[in-house]
């Protein structure tokens, strides 16, 4: 079977960007890690920026697959579906060594220096928030949340709180901030 070099570079790029960040990721190190010839990078990518944006796209495919899995599980109530997505994310962060969210990391590193990355990361957060808001809207319809609840605002708040907790989790190398945030958020929402 033929090796899909571009896919390999992108997949390895997710892990390396989580670990090293954008500025500290060397193209040579990526090529070495994937055993790819030196000139191949620019065959697949116009620039390091193009590579980074495509890595975000790959990461978002995983995020959307997780959202599909959790938010589509109608055996659970809508609020439990939303919480389940974040619990699975917490487990993923733990198994990866508390490196956190690629979007949050790149957003913090690049939003002040690259308008392209700032817009891309914000677009991704907005997509996640919209998917969560739709499930929270179901929670309103099923009586889990009061009628008139601003589900977009509630979803945006959840994503914002999660990103802050993910940063603290990375700093502490512990998932406690993530669990505490989820407990607080869902207790407050249910009250």
Q: What is the mean pLDDT of each run of 10 residues along the chain (191 residues)?
A: 85 95 95 91 95 98 98 98 98 93 96 96 98 98 97 98 96 96 95 81
Looking at residue 70, its pLDDT comes to 98
Domains and CATH numbers, the chain: 53-190 (1.10.357.10)
Looking at residue 1, its pLDDT comes to 58
Quote the radius of gyration of the chain (alpha carbons, Å): 18
- Taking alpha carbons only, the member of 179, 100, 64, 128 closest to residue 109 is 100
Gap between the Cα atoms of 32 and 34, Å rounded: 5
Predicted TM-score (pTM) of the model is 0.94
Gap between the Cα atoms of 60 and 50, Å rounded: 15
Gap between the Cα atoms of 49 and 116, Å rounded: 9
């Amino acid at each position: 079977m033929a090796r899909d070099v571009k896919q390999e570079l992108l997949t390895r790029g997710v892990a390396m960007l989580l670990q090293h960040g954008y500025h500290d990721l060397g193209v040579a190190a990526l090529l070495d890690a994937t055993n790819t010839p030196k000139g191949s990078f620019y065959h697949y990518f116009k620039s390091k920026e193009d590579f980074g944006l495509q890595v975000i796209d790959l990461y978002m495919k995983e995020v959307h697959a997780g959202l599909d899995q959790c938010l589509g599980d109608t055996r659970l109530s809508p609020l439990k579906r939303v919480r389940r997505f974040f619990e699975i994310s917490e487990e993923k962060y733990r198994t990866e060594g508390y490196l956190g969210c690629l979007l949050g990391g790149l957003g913090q590193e690049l939003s002040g220096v690259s308008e392209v990355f700032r817009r891309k990361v914000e677009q991704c957060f907005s997509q996640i928030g919209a998917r969560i808001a739709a499930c929270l809207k179901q929670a309103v319809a099923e009586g889990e949340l009061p009628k008139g609840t601003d589900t977009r605002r509630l979803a945006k708040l959840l994503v914002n709180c999660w990103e802050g907790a993910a940063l603290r989790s990375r700093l502490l190398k512990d998932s406690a901030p993530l669990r505490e945030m989820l407990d607080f958020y869902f207790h407050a929402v249910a009250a």
